[in-house]
Amino acid sequence: MNGAHPLTPLMEARQVEFAYPGGARAIRVSLAVEAATMTAIIGSNGSGKSTLIRLLAGLLRPTQGSILLEGKPLDDWQPRLRAREIAYMPQATATVFPFRALDVVLSGRTPHAPRFGFENDRDRAIALESLAAAGAAHLAERCVTGLSGGEKQMVILARALAQEPRVLLLDEPAAALDLKHRAELMRTLARLRDDRGLSVVMITHDLQLTGSLFDRIVALRCGELAAEGPPQEILQAELLAAIYDDPKVRTTRVGDQTVVWVDK
Amino acid sequence: MKAKLIRAMAILTLILLVSVAVGLIAGSQKIDFSRLSSDPFSRTLFFRLRLPRVLMGLTIGASLAVTGASLQALFRNPLADPYTLGISGGGALGASVAITLGWSARILGIPWVFVASFLGAMAAAALVRAISRTGAVVLPGALLLSGVVVNLVSAAAVLTIQYVADPNSALQILRWLVGSLDVIGVAAVGRMLILLVPAWLALLALSRQLNLLAIDEDTAATLGVNVRRCETTVHTLCSLIVGVTVAMGGSIGFVGLIVPHAVRLMFGEDLRIVLPGSLLLGAAFLVLADALARTAIPSSELPVGAITGLLGGPAFLWLLRRRRQYAAM
């Protein structure tokens, strides 16, 4: 379906290193993202999770190594074509202008629409579909400035879905969501993975989320890969204790779920 | 969306036509339009003074409004405009230096004053941008404060030059601080339009990118916008447009701030409608403001900058109250 070699991963961070100007924090990671998989990135605050996802999104350029999409370095992609492959959802968006939610979602169609034209009926249909998939159909006519943090996140997620990407990069999308919408978000993402072959890379602090639906967990510690593997391998007390630098981390199995907590 | 754009353009064109009619009729001297072909006095009044002045109002109003709309989107800051970002001030300083040094020459038909004003506007814009941008974030408070400071310093510098220079050029320089549209003959407007029309069109061509930037910078980048290049292009275009308008009409305040908000209130937030809409409504607004400036006080004339300030200031405060979230900037 793409010209790449069948063994080429959909996305790859090949010996990527990054340092912010001034050299405050560095990251050194190699990582492959396969098609139709869900990957969770975990790690303590400041471990480089957001830096990694911003590197994958092309918002930061590696100082060493390269990020490949379908075997081709991100910089060699035409921005417009790249935007059809990768969508990114930041931790928060602070839009000051009272845009209508549906118009925000429609703007996600930009990489597919003609350069100087407006979005057509098909784009509109896809935007409405995406809003429904994100559980935000009822917000279509609302102003984004009047929405709560969680509602706004759902609209921004719908916008990323409207982009119809092959890779969806999410920076803590669940942080502002309540229990119900968290579960709904996970179900939506899993469905898109299974139906459309979407690859999801998601930062999360909620280890409960990572247990059942993710295919893989990538753990970062101080900018380096601390562990990588399927959830049942990573969600072990000793491993998590090392990742989070806290010897009191405990885990237990409840049905097919792993519960993680910290002892008093 | 397309239908919405056409409807917006139709309504605003109608408003523009009405304002042009008002602008051509209003004035301390009555013009008998039926005798335009026979009466040389009426003809001179109309073709040398009245018509050029309306054209000047159209040109400058459109310019200020479209730059205001672009800058607001670029910086995601509803209070940004050429005035609050110091671009007008920098342009005025550049122009006044050129006038004091007696640079009346033209290169390729473009007066040196335009070039100096453009460079001044460009320098002010670059300074404000450098101060307010830290890494990937533009600090909204720093943006406006540094803009206001650049404007004040520029005004002080213009005043200093005025005192040092001879009285003849001092009178001219005063115009840059107040803002006025008086012009003789249409040639000057033509010289402006050679530079302005391409710059307007270039800004309009960026309206989709600006629309994405107005929502969010990071996601705009992942949707295919080259943020830094877009920023530099918009900055350069706005400096050019503001430089040229300031060189001819001085720093007329509030047009760039108020008009884009009025267009948003009427037709929504989409920059692909707000930008061309601001171009039309800005033109209409300044022509009407100037008509008011010429007729408000019998046998005398107010500077148009005073009218836009008196109308724009309260409108701005009303806006701030109506949309409380702006106050959090």
Residue B268: closest C-alpha in chain A: A99
Helix, strand, or coil (residue A134): coil
Q: Which pLDDT score is estimated for A1?
A: 44
pLDDT(A7) > 90 = no
Decide if A79 and B2 are in contact by the 8 Å CB cutoff: no
pLDDT digits (tens, 9 = 90+) for A42-55: 999 888 999 999 99
Question: What's the CATH fold of domain A11-262?
Answer: Rossmann fold (3.40.50)
Q: Which of A21, A57, A111 sits opposite B224 (nearest CB)?
A: A111
Q: Mean pLDDT over all residues of chain B? A: 86
**Interchain CB contact of B231 with A (< 8 Å):** no
Measured CA distances, B238 to A4, A75, A96, B99 (Å): 44, 29, 22, 22
Decide if A79 and B218 are in contact by the 8 Å CB cutoff: no
Across the strands, what pairs with A258? A253
Question: Contact B72/B260 with Cβ under 8 angstroms?
Answer: yes
pLDDT(A103) > 80 = yes
Neighbours of A85 (CB within 10 A): 20
CB within 8 Å of B293: residues ≥ 6 apart? B301, B302, B303, B304, B306, B307
Which of A93, A103, A107 to mutate against chain B (most B CBs within 10 Å)?
A107
Q: Which pLDDT score is estimated for A67?
A: 95
pLDDT(B325) > 60 = no
Q: Which pLDDT score is estimated for B175?
A: 64
Token digits for A125? Answer: 């249909």
pLDDT(B19) > 70 = yes
Question: Which range, of A70-74, A237-241, B161-165, averages the lowest pLDDT?
Answer: B161-165
CA of A124, closest CA in chain B: separation in Å? 10
Characterize A211-222 residue by residue with b for buried, 16 or more Cβ atoms within 10 angstroms of its Cβ, and e for exposed.
bebbbbbbbbbe
Report the candidate in B121, B147, B110, B119 with the shortest Cα–Cα distance to residue B132: B147
Neighbours of B153 (CB within 10 A): 16
Q: Which domain does B231 fall in, by range?
A: 2-328
Measured torsion, CA atoms of residues A35, A37, A38, A43, in degrees rounded to the nearest 10: -80
Question: Contact A96/B269 with Cβ under 8 angstroms?
Answer: no
Residue A56: closest C-alpha in chain B: B222
Across the strands, what pairs with A224? A28, A221
Q: Work out the pLDDT band at B319, boundaries 50, 70, 90.
A: low
**Interchain CB contact of B272 with A (< 8 Å):** yes
CA of B138, closest CA in chain A: separation in Å? 13
Q: Work out the pLDDT band at B160, boundaries 50, 70, 90.
A: confident
DSSP assignment string, B119-155: HHHHHHHHHHHHHHEETTEE-HHHHHHHHHHHHHHHH
Q: Which pLDDT score is estimated for B109?
A: 64
Question: Contact B251/B84 with Cβ under 8 angstroms?
Answer: no
Helix, strand, or coil (residue B7): helix
Q: Where are the domains of chain A?
A: 11-262
Helix, strand, or coil (residue A220): strand
Residue A93: closest C-alpha in chain B: B216
Which of A78, A81, A96 to mutate against chain B (most B CBs within 10 Å)?
A96
Question: Contact B75/B140 with Cβ under 8 angstroms?
Answer: yes
pTM over 0.80: yes
Residues of A in contact with B270 (CB under 8 A): 103
Residues of B in contact with A118 (CB under 8 A): 1-2, 5, 272
pLDDT(B329) > 60 = no
**Interchain CB contact of B326 with A (< 8 Å):** yes
The amino acid at residue B96 is S
CA of A65, closest CA in chain B: separation in Å? 20
Dist. CA B79–CA A176, nearest whole Å:
29
Q: Work out the pLDDT band at B174, boundaries 50, 70, 90.
A: low
Q: Which pLDDT score is estimated for A255?
A: 78
Report the candidate in A224, A244, A256, A257 with the shortest Cα–Cα distance to residue A43: A244
Dist. CA B89–CA B156, nearest whole Å:
10
Region B222-241: mean pLDDT is 93
Domains in chain B: how many in total?
Answer: 1
Region B134-150: mean pLDDT is 81
Dist. CA B61–CA B8, nearest whole Å:
18
Dist. CA A259–CA A212, nearest whole Å:
11
Please indicate whether residue B2 or residue B319 has the higher confidence score (pLDDT): B2
Neighbours of A180 (CB within 10 A): 9
pLDDT(A212) > 90 = no
Q: Which pLDDT score is estimated for A3?
A: 47
Q: Which pLDDT score is estimated for B322?
A: 67
Token digits for A262? Answer: 């910290």
Please indicate whether residue B66 or residue A25 has the higher confidence score (pLDDT): B66
Taking the alpha carbons at both ends of chain A, their separation in whole angstroms is: 52
Region B294-322: mean pLDDT is 80
Q: Work out the pLDDT band at B135, boundaries 50, 70, 90.
A: low
Residues of B in contact with A90 (CB under 8 A): 216, 218-219
Characterize A116-131 residue by residue with b for buried, 16 or more Cβ atoms within 10 angstroms of its Cβ, and e for exposed.
eebbeeebbebbbebb
Decide if A95 and B225 are in contact by the 8 Å CB cutoff: no
pLDDT digits (tens, 9 = 90+) for A131-150: 998 889 999 999 998 898 88
Strands (E) located in chain A:
11-19, 26-33, 38-42, 64-69, 72-73, 86-89, 167-171, 199-203, 216-221, 224-229, 249-254, 257-262
Question: Contact B76/A96 with Cβ under 8 angstroms?
Answer: yes
CA of A174, closest CA in chain B: separation in Å? 18
Element of type H or E holding B107: strand B106-107
Please indicate whether residue B108 or residue A48 has the higher confidence score (pLDDT): A48
Percent of chain B with pLDDT over 70: 91
pLDDT(B137) > 80 = no
Measured CA angle at B32 (ends B295, B282), to 5 deg: 45
Q: Write the CATH number for B155.
A: 1.10.3470.10
